[in-house]
Chain A
């Protein structure tokens, strides 16, 4: 007699309810309710500095943000971090993925070791690089000096215009392992016959890379780019210890203030709750919008070719 393992008895329903009900309640109360509550708050002028009952003001917070030049400066800075980080990350991770598809003794060890930075606390990474870039005793200065590239120590993080470049470098160091894994998986799924056939037909390795490997990697690029875009666009931890200097209530460094730090400042320093809530939803929509564009563009390209 075949047993229908999916047949559900009343006892089973109790089992399902005991397991799922607490989860539904937890997620409902601690994720859905606050997300909706924040959305409602974003339509009010709630400000904890001013003792008044919050008033419903419609979309005014959103228009106030869009008309505010600081919002655009901060958004542009976040996009600058993205546009510095993504190419750097993709270049490094594509190179590493190609290196790790080669078969050589010690490959597994190299793979394990290069994934380490991704798994460490980003807050430590910011500190770590802050120490390396230190102007008085930093390792980068020591290294460059010993190689004869610089004659005296440079205070790398002092110049406000270049701080953001170092932020991008550290973000790249923190994240490059993830796209490497994605691209490596993509490379390994390319059928070997295809490359062999191209070789027989007389294609050079550059030609087969450009005409076979790259197009087939497009979906992996789409995934990696989207996730790395969101990670860079919403960067917070790394900046906090590298350049922000916001610990223990100190002022947040205006030269590396990105969207998330701006949001933190609005809510937890200025206590402008309504405006901060509006900003967090704007960040969400911006991230989702760009993510959708990335994925559809790159996927379509992959499908066409």
Chain B
């Protein structure tokens, strides 16, 4: 029937039109920051007609950022090289270590809550979960003085400790739901064969909850990487500052050229971007549950 044939194609055209608008809105800005970071200065500052596709793409901004830094008008060199390398390392280190700890601790605890019966289990679970929806802010003031007194202000150890504690409730909650989905008969068989609980964890639970652990690891990694408030408050020197803070300082404090800042922004968003692109199926469930909590 020609009528429904036409109708089908018109509908398709509308769908793709809306998709194009949606993509322009969602990734247009990301595209532009990337283009800005690889454009030559001439093109980037061209007005009023902008060039949307760089005619001579260049990595100069990245090289300036990581090697030597750009020149100030006064002739001094901006300190971006040290700041970028150091904060890149700090961010990688803190996010990987915290995410690994959270994954390990919450898989163990998730197993305990999913499978074992003991007195006070409900109370302990409630105790660990209760503060999850509380905004971080209400405890930050006292926490700041505690961390100062413990000598952990402005240290990576302090950052890792804080991130672990704030991510634990979500991790435990996610892992207890993931472990519940494992078929209990496998564990029973292992117990009959004389496995103790630790062996059971090592040989049965960890291998079988790999995808759940990947979800918790990636959600934690992303949360730490993207966080700004904690490093803003608990670090103050370049030795322990993280990328988000350094980027905010580029915007406000240092006279960094736009194309260099764009390159720094691309570096800061690259890991989340890649994780979101390639591991999204792990993330959606964890982040949705995490937000609903």
Query: Which residues of A line the B interface, CB within 8 A?
Result: 3, 5-6, 8, 11-13, 15-16, 19-20, 22-24, 26-27, 30-35, 37-39, 41, 92, 95-96, 99, 102, 104, 106, 110, 112-117, 119-125, 127-132, 134, 136-137, 139, 141-143, 145-146, 152-153, 173, 177-178, 181-182, 185, 223, 227, 230, 234, 236-237, 240-241, 245-248, 250, 260, 263, 267-268, 273, 276-277, 280-281, 283-284, 287
User: Given that A8-B117, A27-B127 are contacting pairs, would A178 and B291 also be in contact in the complex, using a CB cutoff of 8 Å?
Assistant: yes
Evaluate contact between B15 and A240: CB separation under 8 angstroms.
Answer: no
Offer 5 A-B interface pairs, CB within 8 angstroms, sorted by A.
A131-B36, A173-B29, A237-B228, A248-B249, A284-B138
Q: Which of B124, B172, B187 is A5 in contact with, Cβ under 8 Å?
A: B187
Evaluate contact between A146 and B49: CB separation under 8 angstroms.
Answer: yes
Q: Which residues of chain B come closer than 8 Å to A245, judged between CB atoms?
A: 252
Q: Which of A99, A117, A119 is B19 in contact with, Cβ under 8 Å?
A: A99
Q: Which residues of chain A come closer than 8 Å to B29, judged between CB atoms?
A: 117, 125, 128-129, 132, 173
Q: Which 8 A-B pairs have the closest CB atoms?
A: A247-B252, A142-B50, A37-B142, A34-B142, A248-B253, A34-B139, A119-B276, A121-B226
Q: Which residues of chain A come closer than 8 Å to B292, judged between CB atoms?
A: 223, 227
Q: Which residues of chain B come closer than 8 Å to A6, judged between CB atoms?
A: 115-117
**Complex: chain A residue closest to B16, CB-CB:** A104
**Complex: chain B residue closest to A137, CB-CB:** B45
What separation, in Å, do the CA atoms of A99 and B227 have in the docked complex?
A: 31
User: Given that A139-B32, A237-B228 are contacting pairs, would A280 and B138 also be in contact in the complex, using a CB cutoff of 8 Å?
Assistant: yes
What separation, in Å, do the CA atoms of A99 and B23 have in the docked complex?
A: 12
With both chains docked as a complex, state the minimum distance between the C-beta of B40 and any C-beta of chain A, in angstroms.
13
What separation, in Å, do the CA atoms of A236 and B275 have in the docked complex?
A: 24
Interface residues of B in 187-215 (CB under 8 A from A): 187-188, 191-192, 196-198
Contact with A along B16-53 (1 / 0, CB 8 A): 10110011011101101100100000001101111000
Is B92 at the interface (CB under 8 A from chain A)? no
Is B146 at the interface (CB under 8 A from chain A)? yes
Give the interface size bracket for B toward A: 35 or more
Q: Which residues of chain A come closer than 8 Å to B247, judged between CB atoms?
A: 123-124, 127, 241
Evaluate contact between B48 and A145: CB separation under 8 angstroms.
Answer: yes
Evaluate contact between B108 and A115: CB separation under 8 angstroms.
Answer: no
With both chains docked as a complex, state the minimum distance between the C-beta of A45 and any C-beta of chain B, in angstroms.
14
Is B128 at the interface (CB under 8 A from chain A)? yes
What separation, in Å, do the CA atoms of A5 and B204 have in the docked complex?
A: 14
Identify whether the interface residues of A are mostly helix, strand, loop, or mixed: helix
Interface residues of B in 145-196 (CB under 8 A from A): 146, 161-162, 164-166, 168-169, 172, 184, 187-188, 191-192, 196
**Complex: chain A residue closest to B29, CB-CB:** A128
A-B contact count (CB 8 A): 265
With both chains docked as a complex, state the minimum distance between the C-beta of A197 and any C-beta of chain B, in angstroms.
21
Evaluate contact between B116 and A136: CB separation under 8 angstroms.
Answer: no
Evaluate contact between B22 and A96: CB separation under 8 angstroms.
Answer: yes
With both chains docked as a complex, state the minimum distance between the C-beta of A40 and any C-beta of chain B, in angstroms.
8
Contact with A along B257-293 (1 / 0, CB 8 A): 0100110010011001101110010011001100110
Q: Among A39, A139, A223, A277, which residue has the most Cβ atoms of chain B within 10 A?
A: A139
Binds A, one of B61-69, B71-79, B129-137: B129-137
With both chains docked as a complex, state the minimum distance between the C-beta of B31 and any C-beta of chain A, in angstroms.
10
Evaluate contact between A30 and B143: CB separation under 8 angstroms.
Answer: yes
Q: Which residues of chain A come closer than 8 Å to B288, judged between CB atoms?
A: 178, 181-182, 185
Q: Among B109, B198, B261, which residue has the most Cβ atoms of chain A within 10 A?
A: B109
Is B97 at the interface (CB under 8 A from chain A)? no
With both chains docked as a complex, state the minimum distance between the C-beta of B117 and any C-beta of chain A, in angstroms.
4
With both chains docked as a complex, state the minimum distance between the C-beta of A294 and any C-beta of chain B, in angstroms.
14
What separation, in Å, do the CA atoms of A127 and B225 have in the docked complex?
A: 16
Q: Which of B138, B162, B277 is A112 in contact with, Cβ under 8 Å?
A: B277
Evaluate contact between A12 and B32: CB separation under 8 angstroms.
Answer: no
